[in-house]
């Protein structure tokens, strides 16, 4: 029996509680992992609160990230004692996730813990940080360099945004950090932002084109925010879009794309192939300042997860939340 956060749903609605779970014997290709650290992400908050139907079957253990030590393996790439991490792959939505003492998953979903990163640091990075790195790589693959101009980051105090600001600054970019909380300016400048922009500047009704302002952007918001920033990206610029915190809609026109040659690159971290994951993690190990990572990281216990989840939806969470499930493992 293993402690876990468990979501159930019946005709009376959804319930969430800390419970105990058991597992069937390992199937061929599966790996059992003793979870050391997990995280609390925006998607986990949606699952726990039921605010969006991200959970596809019940009962469900949420937690789209975890790091830990292999306890048992029927996968050729892993053996007992290996340190591993998992991000995405619909874990916590379709398959039981990492907010539990043990996880049992398809071994193809795992990658070895990267060199130079501890299990706690891997979860401080988590899906949010790994997504941020994929976004940075997407910009660079389209020719965005520090010399071309400022790069804007929306949702800058959140998990993806905080890591994106720190990564871009480490690579020499001038970063414009967008936030709706002026009180977080010192936090964002500490991560490396050179300019703070009030979110309200991107909230109005979008025009097809506005004055050119930024060379590129990383967007977690979608909706009017993304439409407005697309209208202000400089000629030939690129926007990496990875979220929909504002809206799934995109109320824009083709004008930025056909009149300014703007590129909108979608970034998916959930189903990204193994090679892309390993490239992102290698870049994170090289460029992410661990002191800045620690500055944006807060620990919350497994017992606190359910109560904290609604704060994501209220925009009250800063940076990264890590969950010490069994920190004595490493």
pLDDT band at 312 (very low <50, low <70, confident <90, very high): confident
pLDDT, tens digit, 9 for 90 and up, residues 235-251: 999 999 999 988 999 99
Q: CA neighbours within 13 Å on the CB side: how many for 201?
A: 17
pLDDT, tens digit, 9 for 90 and up, residues 127-149: 999 999 999 999 999 999 999 99
pLDDT of res. 253:
97
Domain 2-113+300-329: assigned CATH number: 3.90.180.10
| Rg, Å, the chain Cα set | 20
Residues of the chain with CATH 3.40.50.720: 127-266
pLDDT, tens digit, 9 for 90 and up, residues 261-300: 999 999 999 999 999 999 999 999 899 999 999 999 999 9
Beta bridge partners of 20: 3
The structure's pTM equals 0.90
pLDDT of res. 315:
82
Burial 313-326 (b: 16+ CB within 10 A, else e): eeeebbbbbbbbbb
Nearest CA to 318 out of 293, 298, 290, 288 is that of: 298
What CATH class has 127-266? Answer: alpha beta
């Amino acid at each position: 029996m293993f402690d876990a956060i468990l979501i159930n749903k019946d005709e009376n609605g959804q319930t969430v509680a800390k419970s105990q779970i058991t597992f069937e014997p390992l199937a061929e290709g599966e790996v059992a992992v003793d979870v050391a650290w997990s995280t609390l992400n925006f998607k986990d908050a949606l699952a726990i609160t039921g605010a969006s139907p991200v959970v596809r079957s019940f009962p469900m253990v949420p937690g789209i990230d975890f790091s830990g030590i292999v306890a048992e393996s029927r996968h050729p790439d892993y053996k007992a004692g290996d340190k591993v991490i998992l991000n995405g792959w619909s874990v916590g939505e379709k398959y039981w996730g990492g907010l539990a003492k043990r996880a049992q998953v398809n071994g193809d979903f795992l990658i070895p813990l990267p060199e130079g990163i501890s299990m706690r640091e891997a979860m401080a990075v988590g899906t949010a940080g790994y997504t941020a790195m994929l976004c940075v790589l997407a910009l660079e693959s389209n020719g965005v360099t520090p010399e071309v101009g400022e790069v804007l980051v929306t949702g800058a105090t959140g998990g993806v945004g905080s890591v994106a600001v720190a990564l871009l600054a480490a690579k020499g970019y001038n970063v414009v950090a967008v936030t709706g909380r002026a009180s977080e300016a010192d936090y964002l400048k500490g991560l490396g932002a050179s300019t703070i922009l009030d979110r309200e500047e991107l909230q109005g009704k979008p025009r097809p084109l506005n004055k050119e302002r930024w060379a590129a952007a990383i967007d977690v918001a979608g909706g009017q925010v993304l439409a407005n920033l697309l209208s202000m990206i400089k000629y030939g610029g690129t926007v990496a879009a990875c979220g929909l915190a504002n809206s799934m809609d995109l109320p824009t026109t083709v004008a930025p794309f056909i009149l300014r040659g703007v590129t909108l690159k979608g970034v998916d971290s959930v189903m990204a192939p193994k090679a892309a994951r390993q490239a992102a993690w290698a870049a994170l190990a090289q460029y992410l300042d661990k002191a800045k990572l620690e500055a944006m990281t807060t620990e919350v216990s497994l017992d606190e997860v359910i109560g904290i989840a609604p704060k994501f939806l209220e925009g009250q969470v800063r940076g990264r939340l890590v969950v010490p499930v069994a920190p004595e493992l490493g």
